Chains A and B, each alone.
Chain A
């Protein structure tokens, strides 16, 4: 295009054609402009500010003075040399893998189930999923805490009644593993509705005739899924997986509120909680900014595989 374009300035006829082509070529830019403006206007300065903060010593005193002291890479050095940072990173990675696997796995199965059940059951299950989804997180955490509490939690009651063991006064919040297992259950429960409903909507786009054609060819169940359904679901699955990784890695509200502010401790930190504790509770905003940037980099690395696939899939279409 470039070589031809340089010579357009001569002929008027060619110029008109190119103007039309320019108009058509500029369509995508007009389409993305509103989003760019909206996001840039609001996040532009805060982002720049966040990056700048990470290179400053900025505590409560500096916050009030509105002036930080530049200290170069000291914040980053301090974080990267902190044992707690690496332990938290390892713990959060395991947590993220478990959560994403459970969410996407169970979500896909749920979507497939939704397609195959009778209409009444489908409406009931979808309605149930939306009900679960509609609970505000802060409320869901309270209800979950209450169901699992030491004194009279219904979970302990049910497990004892079912003779799984004596769970009277069982303390689910006594060990880190138990705490994070509960957080995982809560997070997956909260994320399932969205994944299941989105995948179900995507399945709705699988043209019936393609499935029927495959069935006529003699294919069944798994093969239909692999050859017909999965390729159409792939873009949506990739999105959901990469988003789940991003969200689960940085999750804050559920662990912080479920484990409880008084039981949060470096031994059960997840990255989102670590950021909040270091940056906000300790009022060390420069260090908090450095942790934010590091988290951004880590999440980018963790999700790069899926993001690349997503971009490729888009290009192939």
Chain B
């Protein structure tokens, strides 16, 4: 249909315009990372570096503890996301598909935790973790992140589960499988896009978290990459903008890789939903 094609072209153009606006700060960050110092502080900004340089990237990587802190971030985020998604999925099934007394109480608890202002909990949490010797330890941070990520994951996954039409569930149970079995065989592929979106969120949130990582981790060899980044700005002396932007670009890379790995799942989920008849 001709009208459909024109609409599509118009929408494509709109999408591209939005892309430019959304991506601009990222572009500015990368462009600055590649500019030599004098272009960075120049009065009239240049869009693209006239003489691109990789010196900022090498300066950033050579700063103390870069690789250790990347490793720490990967460990913390990997553990947090994996454990949280599994636990949250189980709880979400309970909330979405079972009617059990105390359900409302659990829901209130899950939502309530999200409403807690995190800043208020910093010191009490620190005191508790110190008692268990979990300060200055990766496990302490993992456990802290889990408690903030879990309620969100439970909630979001519940939403995705509810969205699945009931007749699909019932069709699965017709062939005699238990309710739980039906979930894992039929619904899991259907909810794959939701699982992916939730895990991407969990990944991004924990990868970018700063306040608790800063307070709980003292040894620079144990800190996360976001804390490492803050050292560029903390000094009262010369701020190396080029290196900061280069370092920031580097910290974004794992997130992008993670998304590239899982975005196929979203596409797969799309086609799976279409095939279901």
- Within the complex, are A and B direct neighbours (CB within 8 Å)? yes
* B274: contacting residue among A151, A197, A208, A292, CB under 8 A: A208
1/0 contact string of B66-101 vs chain A (CB within 8 Å): 000000000000000000000110110111101110
Q: In the docked arrangement, what's the CA distance between A77 and B266, Å?
A: 51
Given A134-B204, A135-B25, decide whether A35 and B87 contact each other with a Cβ distance below 8 A.
Answer: yes
Beta-carbon contact of A137 and B208 below 8 Å: yes
Residues of A within 8 A of B14 (CB): 113
| Chain A contact residues: helix, strand, loop or mixed | helix
1/0 contact string of B91-129 vs chain A (CB within 8 Å): 101111011100110110111111111111111110110
| Residue B270 lies at the interface, judged by CB distance under 8 Å to chain A | yes
1/0 contact string of B248-263 vs chain A (CB within 8 Å): 1001100110010001
| Residue A147 lies at the interface, judged by CB distance under 8 Å to chain B | yes
| Residue B57 lies at the interface, judged by CB distance under 8 Å to chain A | no
| Residue B6 lies at the interface, judged by CB distance under 8 Å to chain A | no
Minimal Cβ-Cβ distance residue in A for B87: A34
Beta-carbon contact of B155 and A239 below 8 Å: yes
Minimal Cβ-Cβ distance residue in A for B251: A136
Residues of B within 8 A of A189 (CB): 22, 25
Q: How far is the CB of A92 from chain B (nearest CB, A)?
A: 12
| Residue A102 lies at the interface, judged by CB distance under 8 Å to chain B | no
1/0 contact string of B144-174 vs chain A (CB within 8 Å): 1011001110111011101111100000000
Beta-carbon contact of A142 and B8 below 8 Å: no
Beta-carbon contact of A317 and B166 below 8 Å: yes
Given A53-B124, A238-B159, decide whether A142 and B244 contact each other with a Cβ distance below 8 A.
Answer: yes
* Residues on B facing A (Cβ under 8 Å): 7-8, 11-12, 14-16, 18-19, 22-26, 28-29, 32, 41-45, 87-88, 90-91, 93-96, 98-100, 103-104, 106-107, 109-125, 127-128, 143-144, 146-147, 150-152, 154-156, 158-160, 162-166, 180, 190, 193-194, 196-197, 200-201, 204, 207-208, 210-211, 226, 229-230, 233, 241, 244-245, 248, 251-252, 255-256, 259, 263, 266, 269-270, 273-274, 276-277
* Residues on A facing B (Cβ under 8 Å): 25, 27-29, 31-32, 34-36, 38-39, 42-43, 45-47, 49-50, 53, 63, 110, 113-114, 116-118, 121-140, 142-144, 146-147, 151-152, 154, 157, 189, 192-194, 197-198, 200-202, 204-209, 232-233, 235-236, 238-239, 242-243, 246, 250, 252-253, 271-272, 275-276, 279-280, 285, 288-289, 291-292, 295-296, 299-300, 303, 307, 310-311, 313-315, 317
Known interface pairs A208-B273, A236-B163; 12 further A-B residue pairs with C-beta atoms within 8 A, sorted by A's residue number: A31-B94, A38-B147, A42-B143, A43-B147, A45-B124, A114-B15, A132-B26, A139-B29, A152-B45, A198-B201, A242-B111, A300-B115
